[in-house]
């Protein structure tokens, strides 16, 4: 399964608290990343597919947690959240989801705080992708 990605910028305000965006129910995969802390679309897609593949072999039960560790290249979930998750300095987010109704409910719950943007990532030509990011993903995989 291929996840969907949707990027937003904050409408001139700071996030009141990260919990505003994470305390919610969802029916499918749903994860929120800081757009400025993610290298590329490819990084997200590879992390998603690796998390799917590794979920049954890992002691980590939530695919979102495993995904966050892989996308951040951090073997500890708390460090992964700091590294790739949203925080007080977040100015733009990328939502990774597989159920459109989850995205709609999320957008409704933010009360106009977000404005959609088209291109969240810089130039993604292969020479611009950061090889050390993928090395970090492998290190996380080996630690599971």
User: What are the structure tokens assigned to 56, written together?
Assistant: 């049954």
Q: Is the separation of the CB atoms in 21 and 113 below 8 Å?
A: no
Count of beta carbons in the 10 Å neighbourhood of residue 119: 9
CA distance 100 to 98: 7
CATH topology of domain 4-143: PF0523-like (3.30.2380)
- pLDDT for 125 equals 56
Predicted TM-score of the model (pTM): 0.79
Which residues are registered as beta bridge partners of 95?
6, 32
Q: pLDDT tens, position by position, for the chain (144 residues)? A: 788 888 888 876 666 555 555 545 677 888 889 888 887 888 888 889 988 888 878 777 788 889 989 888 898 888 988 888 888 788 888 889 988 988 888 888 777 788 888 866 655 555 555 666 667 767 776 666
Q: Which residue(s) pair with 92 in the sheet?
A: 9
22 torsion bin: left (phi>0), alpha (psi -120 to 50), beta (else): alpha
pLDDT score for 2: 84
Domain boundaries, the chain: 4-143
Residue 69, helix vs strand vs coil? helix
User: Rounded to whole angstroms, how far apart are CA atoms 93 and 128?
Assistant: 21
- Of 43, 45, 37, nearest to 124 by C-alpha is 43
What angle separates helix 63-72 from helix 41-54, to the nearest 10 degrees?
A: 140
């Amino acid at each position: 399964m291929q996840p969907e990605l949707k990027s937003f910028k904050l409408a001139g305000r700071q996030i009141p608290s990260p919990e505003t965006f994470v305390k919610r129910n969802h029916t499918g995969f749903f994860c929120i990343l800081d757009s400025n802390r993610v290298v590329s679309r490819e990084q997200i897609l590879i992390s998603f597919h690796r998390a799917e593949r590794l979920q049954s072999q890992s002691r980590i039960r939530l695919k979102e947690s495993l995904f966050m560790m892989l996308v951040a290249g951090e073997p500890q979930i708390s460090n992964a959240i700091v590294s790739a998750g949203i925080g007080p300095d977040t100015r733009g987010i990328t939502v990774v989801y597989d159920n459109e109704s989850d995205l709609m409910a999320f957008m409704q719950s933010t009360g106009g705080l977000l404005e959609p943007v088209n291109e969240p990532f810089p130039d993604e030509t292969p020479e611009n992708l950061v090889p050390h990011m993928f090395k970090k993903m492998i290190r996380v995989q080996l630690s599971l």
